[in-house]
Amino acid sequence: MSRQEMSGRNTSGQNAARTTLCAAIEGFTFHGGSGPALRGVEIEITPGSLTAVLGGSGSGKSTLGRLLAAWLAGGRDGVLRGTLQLAAGGRQGEGCPLVFSGTGDDPRIDSAAWADHVGYVPQDAAAMLSAVRGTVEEELAFGLENRGTARSEMTRIVAETARRTGLTALLERDPATLSGGELRRLAIGCAIVTGPGVLILDEPLASLDPAGERTVMELVRDVRGRGAAVVVLSQHADGLTRQATHWLVLEDGAGTAAGSPDRLLAGSSLASSGVVVGGPPGLPAAGASSRPVAAAAPAAASGPAPAPGLPPALQLEGVSFGFDANDPGSPLLLKSINLEVRPGEIVAVTGPNGAGKSTLLRLFNGLLRPLRGNVRVTGKGIAGVPTGVVAERLGLLFQHPHDQLFERTVQREVIFGLERLFGQHASAKAAAALAEVGLDASGGVHPHELSGSGQRLLALATVLAREPAVLALDEPTVALDAHGLDRLTAAITAAAGRGAAVVLVTHDLAFARAHAHRTVELKDGALVGC
């Protein structure tokens, strides 16, 4: 058997090496953690299977995914009681040679060798990318280069992976400039490019438009067809996880239920888990999302639309923008956009991946400046006004929470800058914002120790605490479980109730329908339905 077969690599694009990954975790506690993040979790991942690990926020999904992918290790990152076993490279009909078997804080896991067999896409797709700044093509080639793949072979595999993930037109781009959906496609491409025997995907449909969801679902089907096992970690019983051969439900770090999706959906084990249940099984029709439609709290929770006639809190007049300002021949991303949002109004902006939604929000506070046209916040033009000054009236929630979290504790993160705005009331304002998002007991925690949903809710609290006249929220529903969605809904409703204008960018059409007064679509550079 060649080293390539032994290592589980599938650089020829044919069948993946048969790989089995088993974990029996009695407990895993992060160093400095207050209690075990995982306890009593057993999982067996076999060739060709699709396992869905479902659970609400903070239930331990990402921790399990990172342990299975050797991004976390017992001894180094925390205390692990239990065993991990990886076997890979057996030919059809044979057992797999054992690559690793270890117990507890065994230090022998070589994470680079592990990555030969186990591909992993974290919830935060940006964390996947190499630190080296280059192009999308170089990023895709990175894993192959590390394994010494011949150049001609590498070129062929990168081109094929780009085609499979819909990245062909973006190969020359700097990954740092990709939209959220484009970045997730790239992260998945980087994980599959070496043909691992096990592929672990943490919330793989987050931030994707319906076409992107279909691409991922087809990829999952394709890699399973080549003999690889897939594990999906998710808060959603959606079109992808309902196709799983096996579900494992986590609650508060413990495996509380396991079995077929049908059996678990019929029972009551999901009721308290925070898992968002809904959506039909199977691939969604063209244009339709596979995400659950039952995700949102009751419709019309956002209250009546504000009375007409109020002067707009946010106004865009003929705003055009393109990234290639120096090239007059290059097409504009945003073409003469007009938009008015009144105090108390909630407007949802939807549209395909890469349409320019995040770019539009960055024009609201001056992080980007229009090539033509004007932006007014509370009636005043922002041309030439520093972003920090506009931020007193307009709060922007970034698509990626890590772009917004810099402090050492949750409390400091929220209170930062509030003294200047509210003087002696700053502490009370910070406490109220943390309570609003359910993080009042986590003030002393480091932001990076929060789960994905905790980080998103913290970033939201930092924006809410400033009580801006305009709230601009970029994909606020991503990473939130059913309880988190309820908190988000309540926070948006309260902000609109006190007169804030709210603009939220989202791919969650059910959420937009239930909670926005108006939905507009950004497509081909124009806003439709204003």
Ligand X SMILES: Nc1ncnc2c1ncn2[C@@H]1O[C@H](COP(=O)(O)OP(=O)(O)OP(=O)(O)O)[C@@H](O)[C@H]1O
Which residues contact ligand X (rule: CB under 6 A)?
A: 30, 33, 37, 55, 57-63, 123, 177-182, 207, 235, 323, 333, 351, 353-359, 449-453, 479
Q: With contact defined as beta carbons under 8 Å apart, do 220 and 240 qualify? A: yes
Helix then strand count (H, E) for the chain reads 16, 22
CB 483 within 8 A of CB 274: yes
> Alpha-carbon distance 49 to 288, whole Å?
26
Residue closer to ligand X, measured from CB, 210 or 344: 210
Nearer to ligand X, 208 or 433 (CB): 208
Closer residue to ligand X in complex, CB, 33/48: 33
Where b means 16+ CB within 10 Å and e means fewer, 322-340 reads beeeeeeeeebbbbebebb
Closest to ligand X by CB, 154 vs 348, is 348
Nearer to ligand X, 33 or 278 (CB): 33
The total number of residues written for the chain in this structure? 530
Answer whether 136's CB lies under 8 Å from 170's CB.
yes
Measured from the CB atom, the residue of 58 and 197 that comes closer to ligand X is 58
Integer angstrom CA distances of residue 62 from 57, 71, 230, 413, 415: 10, 10, 15, 23, 28
Looking at beta carbons only, is 400 or 466 nearer to ligand X?
400
* Residue with smaller CB distance to ligand X, 46 or 409: 409
Q: Whole-number minimum distance, CB 36 to ligand X, in Å?
A: 9
Q: Which residues neighbour 349 within 8 Å (Cβ) at sequence distance 6 or greater?
A: 357, 360, 503, 504, 505, 506, 519, 520, 521, 522, 527
Q: Please, what is the minimum distance in Å from the beta carbon of residue 17 to ligand X?
A: 28
* DSSP-assigned states of every residue in 372-418: EEEEEETTEE-TT--HHHHTTTEEEE-SSGGGT--SSSHHHHHHTTH
| Amino acid occupying residue 220 | V
The nearest distance, CB 504 to ligand X, in angstroms, is: 12
To ligand X, the closest distance from the beta carbon of 60 in angstroms equals 4
Instruction: Specify the residue, 33 or 499, whose C-beta has the smaller distance to ligand X.
Output: 33
Q: How far apart are CA 477 and CA 480, in angstroms?
A: 6
Radius of gyration of the chain (CA): 23
Distance CA 309, CA 370 (A): 27
- Paired residues of 189 in beta bridges: none
Q: How far is the CB of 52 from ligand X (least distance, A)?
A: 13
Strand order in the sheet with 314-321: 334-341, 314-321, 372-377, 380-381
Least gap, CB of 38 to ligand X (angstroms): 8
Closest approach of ligand X to the CB of residue 317, in Å: 20
Instruction: Reduce the DSSP state of residue 295 to 3 states and report it.
Output: coil
Comparing CB distances to ligand X, the nearer of 91 and 523 is: 523
Query: Least distance from C-beta 352 to ligand X, angstroms?
Result: 7
Provide, rounded to whole angstroms, the least separation between the CB of residue 191 and ligand X.
18
Question: How many C-beta atoms surround the C-beta of residue 19 within 10 A?
Answer: 25
Closest to ligand X by CB, 182 vs 238, is: 182
Q: Which residues pair with 394 in a beta bridge?
A: 470
Give the nearest distance from C-beta 416 to ligand X in angstroms: 21
Smallest gap, in angstroms, from Cβ of residue 413 to ligand X? 15
Burial of residue 307 (CB within 10 Å: 0-12, 13-18, 19+) is exposed
